[in-house]
Amino acid sequence: MEHSLGGSASRRDVLLGALAATAAVGLSRVGTAQAETKQNLPSSLSSKGSTMSTITTKDGAQIYYKDWGTGPVVTFSHGWPLNSDAWDGQMLFLAQNGFRVVAHDRRGHGRSSQASSGNDMNGYADDLAAVIEALDIKDATLVGHSTGGGEVARYIRRHGTGRVAKAVLIAAVPPIMLKSEANPEGLPMEVFDGIRAGVAGDRSQYYKDLALAFYGANRPGAKVSQGTLDQFWLWSMQAGAKNAYESVKAFSETDFTEDLKKFDVPTLVLHGEDDQIVPVKDSARKSAKLIKGAREIYYPGAPHGITATHQDQVNAELLAFIRS
């Protein structure tokens, strides 16, 4: 019996030793592969804790991005308080039609880190610039929806159009949303205070309610799926409370008048005429007058979330404009 147990133990020791040696070799190979991969990454993408799908900004924020397809580049800047997934309908379509599409989650939103600072238009524009520069993007069409339209405008003012071929503003917030003596058609501060209160309070229910107006589901005869409303809530809840709260000031009080005057590339302005979030008369129609040679397209009865409710039409407009 002792001899039998001893033989069993001996065989077990040999087996365990072999397994340990195999694991050591495997880990060594993994470590070598990781080192080689890191050496091949641009420095901005190879910092500690980063992956191929994030970049690190100068202030340490981690910005998530996705990069699909090959061909002429189109970048996408999303609306508040969503993330780059809100562009999937456009990105998939353009990637299938010969374009490289790049979209990032704004700082504090989606999969990007919830930075405590930089939650303003200058910070957003600089993050967009960081993505464009890290990926060495050139001759790009910059597309922005809602708050993302402000991000595109501020990018052009702060960073110029050296890497930009065209621009598209969809249901975008410029020139300025807030009502004032200089902008009597704007929305009163009480509206934006209400948004802040919603974010600071029961933000989950607030986002569920906001989705109805965002997609025009509160209009008679509207056909908006429950899935569309649910995804708005899901994306919104991924935004940090502090980031979403501070972003309200950024998209409502920033004056983009001088930014729009800096546009020197072909620009498309597209807006729904029944936009309950960013009223068309105080946004797109004014922006188009400030951008030299801007092309305007307005959809009667269309809501703010036009990229989802009118996805096929928006995709066709984008494709035609980018190819023109």
| Amino acid letter for position 285 | R
Active site residues: 146, 275, 304
Q: Is 253 exposed, middle or buried (0-12, 13-18, 19+ CB in 10 A)?
A: middle
First to last CA, the chain: 87
Give which of 45, 62, 83 is closest to 236, Cα–Cα: 83
Q: Which two tokens stand for residue 246?
A: 């501070």
Indicate the SS3 state at residue 164: strand
What is the per-residue DSSP string for 223-270?
A: ---HHHHHHHHHHHHTS-HHHHHHHHHHHHH---HHHHHT--S-EEEE
State whether the Cα torsion 122-126-127-128 is positive or negative.
positive
